[in-house]
Amino acid sequence: MDILKTAIFTGCIIGIVSSFTDIAAPEGTLKKQLKIILTMILILGVFTPFLGGGFKLDLNAADKLVEQDEYEDLNKDFQEMYLNQSSENIENVLTELMHQNGIPVEKTVIVSQLDEYNSLEIKKATVYLKNSTQSDRDKVKAIVSENLPQAEVEFAEEDNSEY
């Protein structure tokens, strides 16, 4: 008999909540969606006492689903991918800017890291120049300083990183 009382009580409470929601909801698709959701809750609420044991939601069990080591590895992989992709994009943009200004650049290498707030922090920009003049170096410093104010600028004449 307690099961029947619980089912009827749950149905009445959800019916009352449904009526208030129906009155307060604006006309349109939102009202239809709310009716569908409340109907589902009503069906679950009425039939749950008959299924036995009731319905229990344990949010603490969610932590057990993910192993901490797997999460940390995934986080490190994502951070590495983010740093590499960001650095590559910045390198391409800076190289293109320098080509537009007539500076003979082979390539640009950006050294970056994530700070404690997971924001990208650019530490150094190494610019590989071909037959550069002091004027070219001054232009490079101006371009890098304008676009990456915190970055240290370093120059190299030849790229030996492929060997």
Is 36 in the same domain as 82? no
Is 48 in the same domain as 88? no
Per the listing, tokens 């129906």 go with 22
- Using pLDDT thresholds of 50, 70 and 90, give the confidence band for residue 68: low
pLDDT of residue 69: 67
29 falls within a domain: yes
17 falls within a domain: yes
Higher pLDDT, 68 or 118: 118
132 falls within a domain: yes
Q: Which of 65-74, 105-114, 135-144 has the lowest mean pLDDT?
A: 65-74
Is 52 in the same domain as 84? no
Integer Rg of the chain from CA: 31
Tell me the mean pLDDT in the region 8-13: 81
Q: Is residue 106 scored above 50 in pLDDT?
A: yes
Residue 6 belongs to domain spanning: 2-56
69 falls within a domain: no
Is 20 in the same domain as 91? no
Tell me the mean pLDDT in the region 21-43: 82
162 falls within a domain: no
Average pLDDT of the chain is: 81
- Using pLDDT thresholds of 50, 70 and 90, give the confidence band for residue 160: low
- Could you report the per-residue pLDDT of 48-61, keeping only the tens digit for each? 766 665 555 555 65
Task: List Cβ neighbours of 43 (8 Å cut-off, separation of 6 or more).
Answer: none
Are residues 162 and 135 in contact, defined by beta-carbon separation less than 8 angstroms? no
Q: Is residue 84 scored above 80 in pLDDT?
A: yes
Q: Is residue 34 scored above 90 in pLDDT?
A: no
pLDDT of residue 110: 92
| Tokens found for residue 160 | 């030996």
Q: Is residue 88 scored above 90 in pLDDT?
A: yes
Is 46 in the same domain as 88? no
Question: Structural domain tally of the chain?
Answer: 2
